[in-house]
Structures are given as structure tokens and as C-alpha cells.
Structure 1
Amino acid sequence: MREGHEGTGPGAITPDGCAVELYARLPVGDEPDIIAAAVPAGARILELGSGVGRMTHALLERGFEVTAVDESAEMLERVRGARTICGPIERVDLGETFDVVLLASFLVHAGDVEVRRGLLRTCARHLAKGGCVLIQREGEDYHTNVPRERVDPAGFTVRIVSAEPVGDGVDSVHAEYVFPDVTWTQTFRARPLTREQFEEALAETGLKVDRYLTEDRIWVRAVPMTDT
């Protein structure tokens, strides 16, 4: 298990504390629609941190070609219809480029700055000329509006119980996923990033914001700084 990360509940738990069975149950939200509206039809997508394929499968249904990358073999076993690559995202180098690189699940908020830089470098080196990176950020009150909970229409409750500072600008976040028959928990480390800090992190790896795709600025379309 990665330092500062843990998970509880039935089934396999990944190094960052994610429960495979939990993610197999979670429904996909509006993310595939946001992605589809921001990229060319039929684009080749490199999905970094695909997990069990919640978004992968929805993107395949919309006619995209997806290569799914995750460090968990147990997660990738659930992916259907896409090419899969197992390995740490920050070290992936496929020697090819894609129209779109997708970095969702708040991965850009990795507590370890070097890991974050590695993730963004992976995005940049796999980007085809004229392509874009789509990044999902945390909401701007993610670490301050706690505790909070959301009842999903599918019949389960997501609780962000706490976000406690552990030093160097990093918080330890504790989440609970409560279903009628089972509860999973995840504790993980995340680094809050203001809009300015986020844009500085992009610039470190030669990327810049093209536009924010949603009013809350959670979804971002980024392009190389060399693009005009």
C-alpha cells in the first residue's frame, strides 16, 4: 500500500486504497458527455487511471478508440473492448501519441509533487500534434466543505468525512461509500491546488489551459504551450 493510503471493505484494494468491487459498482456520471463535447469524434484516447473502465466503456460506446492505463491489474481485468496497459502512470512511455490524453479522478492532485510532475509529463509526451489533454480537478471547496455527503440516485451514499493536514500542503482525506449491503472506505493523500497553482503545475510540463469546460472549472482542456 502506498504511504498514507489505505482502504477497507470486501475485495481487492489497490495501492492507493481504491476497492475494485466498489468501483465496479459506481455508475458513470456526465463525464463522458463532457469529454465527447470537447474532442473530435472518433478520437484516439489515452485514458490514464482507467480503473475498472467506467468511463472507458462509455467512451467506447460513443465511438472513441481507447487505450486504458492503470497500475492495478485487478482493475484492468474489468475493462472490456479497450487495449489495456498495466503500470505506474507516471512512468508509462508507449512510444506513440494520441489525439486526447485523459487524466481524470483528481489524479493531478497527487500529494507527491514529483508524482504529479510525472503524471503531467506522461500526458505531454503522448500528445499528438494538435491534440489536447483533458484533466479533472477537485472542486474548489473539496478540502474545506467537510464533512459532507451526497446520496446517489443509484441508492448509495458518498461521504467525505475529513480532510486533515499532514504537512507540506498535503491533506489526508477520508471517504466512505455506504451501500445498503456493504461499506467501503478510502483514505488517501491529496494536495489542494488553487487555479493559479494548477496552471503553474501545467506550465512546468509545457502545458497551458486552453479552456475550462465546466462552470465549476473541474474539467479542463489543456494544450501544449507551443500551440497558438
Structure 2
Amino acid sequence: MRLEDFENEDERVIRDRMKQKTWNEIRSNDSWAIFKIMAEFVNGFETMGRIGPCVSIFGSARTKPDHKHYLLTEKIAYSISKAGYGVITGGGPGIMEAGNKGAHAGGGTSVGLNIELPFEQHFNPYIDSDKNLNFDYFFVRKVMFVKYSQGFVVMPGGFGTLDEMFEAITLIQTKKVAKFPVILVDREFWSGLFDWVKATLVEKYQTVSPGDLDLIRMVDTEEEVVQVLDNFYKKYTLSPNF
């Protein structure tokens, strides 16, 4: 087997181009990419700075509109918007669409932070027209999620959802961002993972402190989500309309 046998067309094109370029040329292209990265940050900051208090909703792009997680996400987003928060999603289909749809139905701010992906990403129709951003860089997009969210609601999803969830938890744990609620929806889905975290990372290997698990709340209903958000911001004498 050769490396080429596992490559897709884009990877083949990149490999062929790299063969034709010197190392200095490659480094020069990296330097020019800084300006594109800066442009994404500037556009993101200017747009997101005007959205008001919001909660980010994460979850699978593959969830179908008739699935229980899609329907529950729609209810959660509706309840969040009625409680005074806007909703930020990744702007695509599945759970993201459900989040924007619920926020739109509730009359709340509906934000989409989209990114080009090979097989599953496209804008959904429930995003406010002036709050629909597109990104090339995952790390710029992640900054927007964290910087402009008053909480994270994490629905069942795959690797991307896990990445976003653990990054948020890590940033709070290390005090790189202010503490905010991280709410995992569907105890049945999440409990196995966090049973392993507790038994293996906390108790057996002590690579995670017991108190770090206090950053996470597991719930099953839209009422519980809103209650966690309200309780958190009452404790810190803040409200979604500050």
C-alpha cells in the first residue's frame, strides 16, 4: 500500500503542489495566510460584538429533522430565546439547524458560524441575515463561539462536538475564559463517557481534578437547560439582558 492510496483528490493536489515548491515558497505562503486569518477575526469581532447575550448549541450535523434530538434541540433553543438569550450554532444542518430554527421561532437572535466541510455543511435557512458568518479556519470560528457565549448547550454528536465541548471545559478549567455553564443534554448519551472520565482520569490516574467535573451539568429537558442558565446567572448577579 502507498500513501497515495489513502488520499482524496484535494490531498493529492496539495501533495503534487508541494513537490513543485521549495520550502521557502511554502513558508512564504504561510506568512501571507496571516492576513486572511486577521480578516476573519476582524469580521467576526465586528459582527459578533453586536449580537448581545447568547448561548452556543453544539451537536451533530447528521441528525435528521424527525429525530428526537433534533426536536429536543428546537424546543431548547425556543426556551432559551424566550428566556432572553440568543442562540449561536455552527450554521449548518442537523442539530445546528434545529437550534437556529428554535431561536427563530422564539423571536430571539439566531447566529450561524459556518465553515466549509467536505460532505455535511451548508447554511440553514433559520439564521438572521446579518448574523451569518463563514469561516475557513476552525480555530478562528472556535474563538467566536467561546468569546461571545454565556453558556454552552451540548447535544449528542461526534468528534467535532466532543472537540468543542472539551475545549470549552479546558479553557474554563485553566481560567483562560470566564466561567460559564456547560450543559450536556441526554444523560443516557453522555453518562458513559463521564463515568469513564471519573473512574479513569479522576480516580485511577489523577490526571483530572475531582472539582473539574463540577464544570459540567447533565440534563434531559429544555426546562432543565433554562434552569441551569438562570441559576448560574442569578448566582453571579448577572442576567441575559445585561
- The TM-score normalised by the length of structure 2 is 0.40
- Structure with bigger strand share is 1
Give the TM-score taking structure 1 as reference length. Answer: 0.42
Decide which structure has the larger Cα Rg and report it: 2
